[in-house]
Chains A and B, each alone.
Chain A
Amino acid sequence: MNQITLKKQLSTDVFLMKVRAPLIAEERKAGQFIMLQVDDDFGERIPLTIADASEKDGTITLIFQVVGKTTSDLAALSEGEAIPSVVGPLGKPTHIEKFGTVVCVGGGIGVAPLHPIAQALKKAGNHVITIIGARTKNLLILEDEMRAIADEFIVCTDDGSYGRKALVTVPLKEVCEKNPKPAMAIAIGPPVMMKFCAETTRPYKVFTQVSLNTIMVDGTGMCGGCRVNVGDKVKFVCVDGPEFDGHLVDFDNMISRLSSYKDIETKKHRCKLEGCK
C-alpha cells in the first residue's frame, strides 16, 4: 500500500507523485484531499489535495510544493518506496453540475487542486474559462493539462516572464465585465490570491467558490484546528469544506491563523536544510 509508482519534478519546488491507494482512488471525487504522514511516530499529518486518480491503476496523484519539513521529507522519497500513512478521501466533494459559464482561477500550486474540478465541470457541460498564474514562468504547473480542458485559456505571471504580465485578478475582472457575466467562479491558490479574487468578483455578484488550506491535525472534525469564520458561523474546513463561499470567508483571520507556528517551523525547516540540531 501507498507505494510511489511515479515521481516527477514539475518546477523548482513542485513535485508530482502517483501513489498506490486503490480504495481512495475508487471513492474520491473532485475537491477532496488526503492526509499523509512520512513518519508514523514523529511525523506531522499534512493535507494534500487529490489532484487526479485512476481507478483502473488504483493510484492517486498528489502535487505538492516543498515548503517545510514534511513536504521536503516527502520529496525525498523515491519511486517504489511507500508513504507510511495515507488516509482519505476527506472533505466534501465539489458540487458539480451544469452552471453555464464557469471561470476557474488557479494560482501557483493551487492549479493542482483546480485541475480535477475544472475537468469535472467541463465534463458536466460547462463553458470553462481558465486563468492560471504564478509569480514567474518556472513556477507555472499543469499548463498543458489546463489548456486542454479549457474553452478559453489565459495564463499570466507576476513578473511578465511568460503570458500576460498581470495578477490573475486582472483577467478575472475582465471576464466578470463580459455580458453575460459568468455563472460562477472558482478560485484556488494562496490565501491572499483567493481573498483578492473574492474581492474582484464581489461587485459583480458572481458567486465565488474558494478552497481553503488551513492548518489541520486530524482532518476528521475532531480537533477544530482548521476552523475559519464563514459569514457569522465558525466552520471546520476538513468536514464542512474545504470549499466555501469566498464572499463570506474571513480571509484575514485565516491568513493570520496560518502563521500560528511560523517561528517554530521556519526554524525547523532551516535547521533541516542546514543540518544543524
Chain B
Amino acid sequence: MNHKTETELHNQAVKDLAEVLPKIAQYKAKDRLKIPAQDMPCQDPVVRRSNLNEVALGYTLEQARLEAMRCIQCKNKPCIAGCPVEIDIPRFVQHVAEGDIQKAIDAIKEFSLLPAICGRVCPQETQCQLTCTTGKSLKDIDKAVAIGRLERFVADWERTQGTIKAPLVKTETGRKVAVVGSGPAGLVVAADVRREGHKVVLFEAFHKTGGVMRYGIPEFRLPNEIVDQEIDTLKKMGVEIKTNFVVGRTRKLTDLLDKDGFDAVFVGTGAGLPMFMGIEGENLIGVFSANEYLTRANLMRAFDRDNADTPMYYSKYVAVLGGGNVAMDAARMAKRLGAKEVYVVYRRTEVEMPARKEEVAHAKEEGIHFYFLQNAKRILGDDKGRVRAMECLRYELGEPDSSGRRRPVVIEGSEFTLDVDTVIVAIGNGSNPLIGQTTPNLNVNKWGNIIVDKETQKTNINRIYAGGDIVLGAATVILAMGEGRRAAAAINKLLAGAG
C-alpha cells in the first residue's frame, strides 16, 4: 500500500504553497482547479488496526490553505444548500485560504456549534461536497473542496490554541428548561437556550454524556476528548448536568413540567432499540447488535481488556451485517479487538452503501473484507450454543424500490456458509421506546418516532419539543443539530413571549 506519511504530505504542501502563494491574486478558476487536492494524513493502516487512536490526523496549516485555495468562490454557492445548517462555506474557506483561522472559526460558529464533530463525521460527499463546483469541474466528487476537513482543521486549531471562549450568557431570566438526552440535538438546545439566560438542566440516562458520539462512534473516528470539550463549554456556561437520570422512569416527562417547575422540555433521546433480522440462530452466544458491541467497547471501555470490568467477547472470525456507518464502526472495532478476519456482508452493492465513503475506504485499508450482494439466511451454533457459522444467500439487483435504490433479489439455491464465531447485526435502530411508553398522551408514529411540527419541533403536548433521531429515525449528527437549533429558537421565543 502506498501510504503517505503526515510529514511527506506536509512537506509537499509547504513546497506547493510557496509556489502558489505569490501568484494566487492572479489565479483564475481554471488555475485554482490545478492546485493539487490535499490528502488527509492518516495513521498507517498496519499500525492503526490495533490501536484506538484517531485514524485521520488532520491537515497542517499549509495543507489547509492550499485546499482552501481550490475553492473558486462560486457566486451561486451550491455547497451552502447542501449543508443542513447552511454554513457560509465560501466565506470561511476564504478565511482559511488567507490564513486567518480565527475569522474562519468565527464564521462557522455563526451557524454550527459543533464543527470539530461535524467536520469529522458529516457525510460530506452527500451534503456540502456533493454539489461543489470544483468537484463537478474536475468530474470527480472526491476532488470537491474538502469542506469537512477544512471545518475540522479550523475547529481543531481553535481547540489547540486554548482560545475557546464559552458563549456569552444573557442575564438570568429565572426560567428553566429541561433537556432530555445529551446527544448532539440535546447539546445544541442546551447551548442555544442557555445563551438567552434561561436555566438549563441536561438529563442523561447514562453515566457519561454525548449520546451516540460517546457510546456508538468509536474513539478512532471521534475522540472522546472532543465531545468532552463541548460538554465543558456547556458547564462553563452554567448548564447543569444530571447523569444517571432516565426521564420517563426516574421522573415522568410531564412531571418535569407539572411538578419540577420546568417551563419547557426538549426531548432528544435518540434512536435505540436495535433491529435484528428475525432469522434462525440470532440468539446464539456470539450474536450482538452493533449497539451492544460498540457500547461495551466504547462507553464501558471494554476495548481496554486489562482494566475494564465489562467483558468483551473474544472473536476471531466476525461477520458484520449491514452497510452503514454503524456497520463500518463495528467491523473496524472488531479488527482492533483482535479479530483475524472481518467480513462485512451487505445485501446490495458498494454504490448503495449508506456509510461515509471515507470510512469504507479506511475499512478496506485496514483489511476488512466486503461481501456485496449477500445476506444471512441463518446462523448456526455448536453444542454449547455458540456461533460456529453463518449460512448466506447471494442476491442480484432487480427493479428500483420506493427509495429509488435497486432492490436486491435473492438467487434461489445460492446458499453457502461462512465460518465465523461472531455475528454483529448492524441493520438499523428503531426509536427509543421509553419516553413513548411512559408518556401516554405523546403522539408518535407507527415506528415510535415522536411527531413534531416541522417549523418549531413542538410535539402535541404544550411546552414539550423534540428533535434528532427520536424524530427523524436514525439520521445524522448534523441533522440532529439542525433540529436542535430550530427547537431552541422556538423555546426561546416561547419563553420570551411569556416573559
Q: Does A43 contact B (CB under 8 A)?
A: yes
Q: Does B276 contact A (CB under 8 A)?
A: yes
Chain A proximity mask over B237-275: 1 for CB below 8 Å, otherwise 0:
000000111100111000000000000000000001110
Residue of B nearest to A1 (CB): B244
Residue of A nearest to B381 (CB): A256
- Contact between B249 and A90 (Cβ–Cβ < 8 Å)? yes
- Contact between B292 and A257 (Cβ–Cβ < 8 Å)? no
- Please indicate the chain A residues that have their CB under 8 angstroms from the CB of B296 in the complex: 217
- Contact between A24 and B288 (Cβ–Cβ < 8 Å)? no
* Distance in angstroms between the alpha carbons of A228 and B304 in the assembled complex: 28
* Distance in angstroms between the alpha carbons of A268 and B433 in the assembled complex: 35
Q: Does A248 contact B (CB under 8 A)?
A: no
* Distance in angstroms between the alpha carbons of A239 and B433 in the assembled complex: 8
- Contact between A27 and B283 (Cβ–Cβ < 8 Å)? no
Measured between C-beta atoms, what is the minimum distance from B436 to chain A in Å?
11
Spot the interface stretch: B309-317, B388-396, B472-480, B481-489: B309-317
Given contact pairs A87-B244, A89-B250, A220-B246, A42 touches B295 in the complex (Cβ within 8 A): no
* Distance in angstroms between the alpha carbons of A132 and B244 in the assembled complex: 34
Q: Does B384 contact A (CB under 8 A)?
A: yes
Given contact pairs A220-B272, A256-B384, A87 touches B285 in the complex (Cβ within 8 A): no
Residue of A nearest to B272 (CB): A222
- Contact between A85 and B384 (Cβ–Cβ < 8 Å)? no
Among A43, A221, A261, contact of B433 (Cβ-Cβ < 8 Å)? A221
Q: Does B36 contact A (CB under 8 A)?
A: no
Contact residues of B between 278 and 334, Cβ < 8 Å to A: 278, 282-283, 285-286, 288-289, 291-292, 295-296, 300-301, 304, 307-311, 313-314
Contact residues of A between 233 and 275, Cβ < 8 Å to B: 234, 236, 239, 250, 253, 256-257, 259-261, 264-265, 268
Given contact pairs A217-B300, A256-B285, A222 touches B273 in the complex (Cβ within 8 A): yes
- Please indicate the chain B residues that have their CB under 8 angstroms from the CB of A86 in the complex: 244
Measured between C-beta atoms, what is the minimum distance from A90 to chain B in Å?
6
- Contact between B251 and A42 (Cβ–Cβ < 8 Å)? no
- Contact between A42 and B292 (Cβ–Cβ < 8 Å)? no
Given contact pairs A41-B301, A44-B309, A70-B309, A223 touches B250 in the complex (Cβ within 8 A): no
- Please indicate the chain A residues that have their CB under 8 angstroms from the CB of B249 in the complex: 27, 88-90
Measured between C-beta atoms, what is the minimum distance from B444 to chain A in Å?
14
Contact residues of B between 189 and 207, Cβ < 8 Å to A: 205-207
- Please indicate the chain B residues that have their CB under 8 angstroms from the CB of A234 in the complex: 276, 278, 282-283
- Contact between A225 and B288 (Cβ–Cβ < 8 Å)? yes
- Contact between B207 and A223 (Cβ–Cβ < 8 Å)? no
- Please indicate the chain B residues that have their CB under 8 angstroms from the CB of A222 in the complex: 272-274, 291, 295, 432
Among A236, A239, A260, contact of B285 (Cβ-Cβ < 8 Å)? A260
Given contact pairs A27-B249, A225-B292, A265-B311, A42 touches B274 in the complex (Cβ within 8 A): no
Q: Does B167 contact A (CB under 8 A)?
A: no
Among B206, B301, B307, B434, contact of A221 (Cβ-Cβ < 8 Å)? B434
Measured between C-beta atoms, what is the minimum distance from A83 to chain B in Å?
10
Contact residues of A between 66 and 100, Cβ < 8 Å to B: 69-70, 73, 84-90
Measured between C-beta atoms, what is the minimum distance from B199 to chain A in Å?
19
A: contact size bracket: 35 or more
Measured between C-beta atoms, what is the minimum distance from B308 to chain A in Å?
5
Count, chain B residues at interface, CB 8 A: 42
- Please indicate the chain B residues that have their CB under 8 angstroms from the CB of A199 in the complex: none
- Please indicate the chain A residues that have their CB under 8 angstroms from the CB of B272 in the complex: 220-222
Q: Does B437 contact A (CB under 8 A)?
A: yes
Residue of A nearest to B309 (CB): A44
Given contact pairs A85-B244, A90-B246, A42 touches B308 in the complex (Cβ within 8 A): yes
* Distance in angstroms between the alpha carbons of A50 and B34 in the assembled complex: 68
Among A23, A44, A239, A250, contact of B310 (Cβ-Cβ < 8 Å)? A44
Q: Does A126 contact B (CB under 8 A)?
A: no
Q: Does B385 contact A (CB under 8 A)?
A: yes
- Contact between B246 and A224 (Cβ–Cβ < 8 Å)? no
Measured between C-beta atoms, what is the minimum distance from B29 to chain A in Å?
49
Residue of A nearest to B204 (CB): A87
- Please indicate the chain B residues that have their CB under 8 angstroms from the CB of A88 in the complex: 246, 249-250
User: B286, B291, B310, B314 — which one has the most chain A CB atoms within 10 A of its CB?
Assistant: B310
Given contact pairs A88-B249, A220-B272, A222-B272, A257 touches B385 in the complex (Cβ within 8 A): yes
Measured between C-beta atoms, what is the minimum distance from A88 to chain B in Å?
7
* Distance in angstroms between the alpha carbons of A39 and B300 in the assembled complex: 10
* Distance in angstroms between the alpha carbons of A221 and B429 in the assembled complex: 11
Measured between C-beta atoms, what is the minimum distance from A128 to chain B in Å?
28
Measured between C-beta atoms, what is the minimum distance from B281 to chain A in Å?
11
- Contact between A45 and B251 (Cβ–Cβ < 8 Å)? no
Given contact pairs A87-B205, A90-B249, A261 touches B313 in the complex (Cβ within 8 A): yes
- Please indicate the chain B residues that have their CB under 8 angstroms from the CB of A87 in the complex: 205, 207, 244-246, 250
Given contact pairs A23-B250, A260-B285, A221 touches B432 in the complex (Cβ within 8 A): yes
Measured between C-beta atoms, what is the minimum distance from A53 to chain B in Å?
13
Residue of A nearest to B273 (CB): A221
Measured between C-beta atoms, what is the minimum distance from A270 to chain B in Å?
14
- Please indicate the chain A residues that have their CB under 8 angstroms from the CB of B288 in the complex: 224-225
Measured between C-beta atoms, what is the minimum distance from A55 to chain B in Å?
14
- Contact between A37 and B292 (Cβ–Cβ < 8 Å)? no
Jot down 17 A-B pairs with beta carbons below 8 A, ordered by A.
A27-B249, A37-B207, A42-B304, A43-B309, A44-B300, A44-B308, A45-B300, A89-B249, A221-B273, A221-B433, A222-B273, A223-B291, A224-B276, A229-B283, A234-B276, A250-B283, A265-B311
Interface residues of chain B, those whose CB is within 8 Å of chain A, are 205-208, 243-246, 249-251, 272-274, 276, 278, 282-283, 285-286, 288-289, 291-292, 295-296, 300-301, 304, 307-311, 313-314, 384-385, 432-434, 437
Q: Which 10 A-B pairs have the closest CB atoms?
A: A256-B385, A223-B292, A44-B309, A261-B311, A87-B244, A224-B289, A222-B272, A44-B310, A264-B311, A85-B207
Besides the known contacts A85-B243, A88-B250, A218-B205, 15 further A-B residue pairs in the complex with CB atoms under 8 A apart:
A23-B250, A43-B309, A85-B244, A87-B205, A87-B207, A87-B245, A87-B246, A89-B249, A217-B292, A220-B432, A221-B272, A222-B273, A225-B292, A257-B283, A260-B286
